[in-house]
Structure formats: C-alpha cells, structure tokens
A = this chain, B = another copy of it.
Amino acid sequence: MSTHAPPPKKLRKPRSSGAITLQEVAKLAGVSPITVSRALNRPEMVKPQKLEAIQAAIRRTGYVPNLLAGGLASKKSRLVAAMVPIISNSMFAEVIEKFTDRLDTAGYKVMLGLSGFRAENEDGLIAAVLSRQPDAIFLTGVNHSRTTRSRLLAARIPVVETWDYTPTPIDMLVGFSHEKVGRTVAEYLHDKGYRRFGMISTEDERANIRKSAFLATLAERDITDVRIATITSPGNFKKGRAGIIEILDAGELPEVVFCSSDVLAHSVLTEAQTRGMSVPADLAVIGFGDLEFAPYTFPALSTVHIDRSAIGLRAAEMVLARIEEREIEKIVDIGFSVIGRGST
C-alpha cells in the first residue's frame, strides 16, 4: 500500500453482491455466459469438452446459480406453492410430504402457505404466493372465493385442487367425495346392525359434508336422533375426550360413534378404557383417515382409509405433467375404503 492513496474517486454505482456469477464462471472457462447457462440447463447442447471445462470452473469457484435471476429471465421460478390449512396434523402433513418429495426430485421447491381453517385467509395468502411466480399451485379443498379463482386463472399456471371432489375444478383435481364417505360409513354401520348413533365432528367444511351425508343416510333409514358433539377444527385428542364425555354423560348411550378423524376416535377408545367400557361391545367407534396408528390401537380402529401418499404423489405428477406439457387426466377420484377392524 502506498502512503498516498489517490483520493477515492466517487464512482457511480456498483450494485452487485459479492457472489460468484455465471459471467465469472464463463470467463474462467473461456466461453460465453450463455454457454455456461446451457451447460447447466441443457448440457446435451454443449460439446463434452467445453462442458467439462465449465464444470471444472463451477467446482473451482463454488458457483451457485441465482434462480431469481434465472426465473425472471425464463419465467420459470421452479417453485410450487402448496396451500394447506395446517401441517401439524398427519392428514395434511403426509400429503405435503409426498408432494414435496416428488417435486424435489424434479428440481422444484415447495413454498408453504398455511391458511388455517378459515376461508377468509386464503385470498391474501394466494396473492402473496402468486407474487413469487410459482410454476404451479396446490390447493386443499375445492371451495375458493371468486377473487382467488380469478387470480389463479390470471396467473395461468397449473392448479391442483385436492382432498375433496368436484366435477368442475379450477384446473385439475385429485381427491375424493366426502359426501360419499359420510353415506358409506352410515351404510356400513347400519348394515352391521347398529341403530343408536353418535358423532364427534369438527366443524370445517369437509367434515360438515361428511356429517350431513351421514345424517341424511341414517334419516333415510328412519334414524334421526343422532347424538352429536361438535368441536372446533383442528380436532385433537383433548377435544375428542371432551366430545365423547359430553355424549356419554348426556345419557342414552349410542352404540357406535363416528368421528371426524382417527385421533378423535382414538380418544374415544381411551375414554372407554377409562370408564371400563368394552369396545365394541359397550361402545363401538369408527374414525376417518386411517392414520398410521389405527391398526395398532386396542382394539384396532375401524376407519375410512384415505391414501394420503397417493394424493400427494399424484398431485405432484399432475403438476409436472402440465409443466412439461404432457397430456394427463385432469380429474382423479382417488376414492376411499371403509376398513372394519376391532372397534366396530
């Protein structure tokens, strides 16, 4: 360092971050920037020899591409948004997990939007999410506000609605009919000979559909006095215990209780055990979801099996197919099945 440094020339504007850029890699490899870009995105277009030089330069510099810049230029963010009510609940968590896993292998990252169980939250979230220019979006449920729908349409990206069914999705759908679930469970239990019913039901949209269908089906068979404990979403063990206690303490015990989720059903099992009631003799229970633990409770829990992994995986495949412009089935009813185990 010389003692008399020249007065610092007040230069205009250096705005760059310190990070290595594709330009620098290009210079180092002795090619043009665009060739480096191609080496990264479509290596088959670049001669093996140059490719190698480029890769060496990348290794030497530890270059990490800037996908914000790339995304801006190419209009592909390689981000996919997923909107779910909550994830602290195996139901949705497993779906998202599979969805994320699959997209990861294709180079996409998932951006999480948690909307809670209140529809009002969705609009704002959607806007926030769309501003990140996702390449596709995953939604839970099929009821969305007019604003949400129009924003989604305007974004012109693949949209998968899940976890419910409608013949007229915004774009694509993979789910099942909650109405059919309610009906099928009612039929299953009635056919087994049960006549006095109880329900522990959360009050979110889809649980309500199951409940209505369940009640309607029973009503068709002349059963109208179902004991219902309604709890707030999300359901949990504590609320389940409270719900079954409410029902049992009201007198006139039901023979069987249909719960909005396996967690609630599990809590019924526990309450029965606490009271020394035998399941299913004194009180039968059926859940919904077929969570991992269902086959291993005592007695094993009867429930409605939903293939959550399949929903996540299928949704990811649909999204990828659309991004890659392959033809696909746009509406997939993944179905469900009633699994009778020891608790009924």
A residues contacting B by CB (< 8 A) are 17-19, 62, 64-69, 71-72, 75, 77-79, 86-90, 93-94, 96-97, 100-101, 104, 107, 109-114, 125, 127-133, 150-151, 154-156, 236-238, 240-241, 263, 266-267, 270-271, 273-274, 292-293, 295-298
Determine which of B100, B128, B292 lies in contact with A236 in the assembled complex, contact meaning CB atoms within 8 Å: B292
Determine which of B86, B112, B237 lies in contact with A110 in the assembled complex, contact meaning CB atoms within 8 Å: B112
> Chain B residues with Cβ under 8 A from A128's Cβ?
104, 107, 109
> Chain B residues with Cβ under 8 A from A129's Cβ?
109
25 contacts between A and B (CB under 8 A): A62-B151, A64-B131, A67-B132, A68-B72, A68-B77, A68-B133, A87-B93, A87-B97, A88-B90, A88-B93, A100-B112, A100-B114, A104-B125, A110-B111, A236-B292, A236-B293, A237-B293, A237-B296, A238-B293, A238-B295, A241-B296, A270-B296, A270-B298, A271-B298, A274-B298
Give the docked Cα–Cα distance between A114 and B94 (Å).
Answer: 12
> Chain B residues with Cβ under 8 A from A155's Cβ?
64
Determine which of B75, B90, B132, B154 lies in contact with A62 in the assembled complex, contact meaning CB atoms within 8 Å: B154
> Chain B residues with Cβ under 8 A from A127's Cβ?
64
Extra contacts besides A112-B112, A240-B296 (5): CB < 8 Å = A18-B156, A19-B154, A237-B292, A237-B293, A263-B293
